[in-house]
Amino acid sequence: MKARKELIRKIKTEIKNRVDSFDRKSEFFFTTLYEVGVLEVDKESKKEDYLKKSLFASKHGKPLCFYNSFLDNDFMIMNVITNQLKNSMQENELNLYYQPIIDSITKKVIKVESLLRWNHPKYGMLNPEAIISIAEKTGLILKLGDWIFKKSVTDMKEWNCCKSDLISVSINTSPMQYLKTDSYMPLWNDFLLKVSVNPSYICLEITESIFMDFSYDKLSIINSLSKRGFKIALDDFGTKYSTFSYLSKIPIDIIKIDKVFVSNIEDSISNMSIIEAIVNVSKRNGYDIVAEGVENIEQLKKLNDLGVNVIQGYYYSKPLPKSELITFLNKCDNDE
């Protein structure tokens, strides 16, 4: 324990010295955030795991974390999933589910959101956020994102077969996909031409985390996609960063109100006020609005009162595999 405390002291001192080395007279302000993972090596430790395990510990939610036996199982699962993720796309182990987005006034499905699923033969249904996180850390997100895009578009063609009112698809994207290096995004328009799909039926969802390290490269790709006809939606709005100042910088078409604000809208005056503010900003700027996570009629009525009519959530439907989605869409057509 004494050795650990001394190590922590040395690490903190080193970080402080690096920060203090900056010119204090400059007009820059620095906020330091650090993640440190420490692996105590013993005879059973494998050299090839030194860096992997210390990095794994550093991402475990604390500024400084010592790797311990309690992390072994999580580390093993992560390694297995990382290795298998490389082949899962080719072997059809991954799947997409689709959640309908509905106009609550007309009761028509106007769009669906594609959601990643992986029912692992050993570990069961894996958390989609964990899959994306691993893909981002290992650099597989570019290939995975390209696979999600192409499968979503291919499935969309199937459910729109013989329909007069086409239903578009909304696809989640990672901030890492908006970096120019090795990005597949510039090639997506060529794929759409090949399969005869208009980009205006594709909505790309970005989250507020894209504004971390926001760069010209990211803005350039978003602008390019928008000019080609893709719709751009800002997902989970208001949950992470103050983004009102960024709205004028990127070509947003849709604001998605996060379920955090919707979940207790019936009892929370503050949540009602936040949603009302988002609605007002959206209307002034000409953005469409979608409310996520709507689960009951009370939430729906409150949102309708605020002028939010496009709804996504379990009140209308849970995420569905493609075959069940097609059945759902056909039923909606028959009910009209």
How would you write the pLDDT of the chain (336 residues) with one tens digit per residue? 556 566 556 666 766 665 555 544 444 444 444 455 554 555 555 545 544 555 544 445 454 454 455 455 555 666 667 778 777 776 677 899 999 999 999 999 999 999 999 888 777 888 788 788 888 877 888 889 999 999 999 999 999 987 778 899 999 999 888 876 556 777 898 899 999 999 999 999 998 777 776 677 788 888 889 999 999 999 987 666 555 667 777 899 999 999 989 988 888 888 899 899 999 989 998 999 999 999 999 999 999 999 999 999 999 999 999 999 999 998 887 776
For residue 96, list its beta bridge partners. Answer: 116
Taking only the tens place, the pLDDT of each residue in 6-58 is 655 666 676 666 555 554 444 444 444 445 555 455 555 554 554 455 554 44
Between CA 265 and CA 267 the distance in angstroms is 6
Give the closest residue to 183 by CA, choosing from 212, 142, 133, 215: 142
Helix (H, G, I), strand (E, B) or coil at 258: coil
- Note the pLDDT of residue 263: 87
Between CA 175 and CA 246 the distance in angstroms is 15
- Note the pLDDT of residue 79: 67
| Contact indicator for 173, 136 with CB cutoff of 8 Å | no
The residue ranges of every structural domain in the chain are 2-67, 91-335
- Note the pLDDT of residue 159: 93
- Note the pLDDT of residue 137: 78
- Note the pLDDT of residue 29: 41
- What amino acid occupies position 84? Q
Model's pTM, two decimal places? 0.77
- Note the pLDDT of residue 98: 97
- Homologous superfamily of 91-335: EAL domain (3.20.20.450)
- Note the pLDDT of residue 21: 55
Give the closest residue to 308 by CA, choosing from 328, 287, 329: 287
Task: Give CA 115 to chain center in angstroms.
Answer: 10
- For residue 227, the tally of other CB atoms under 10 A from its CB is 10
Between CA 37 and CA 105 the distance in angstroms is 52
From residue 257, give the alpha-carbon distance in Å to each of 64, 186, 288, 292.
34, 28, 11, 6
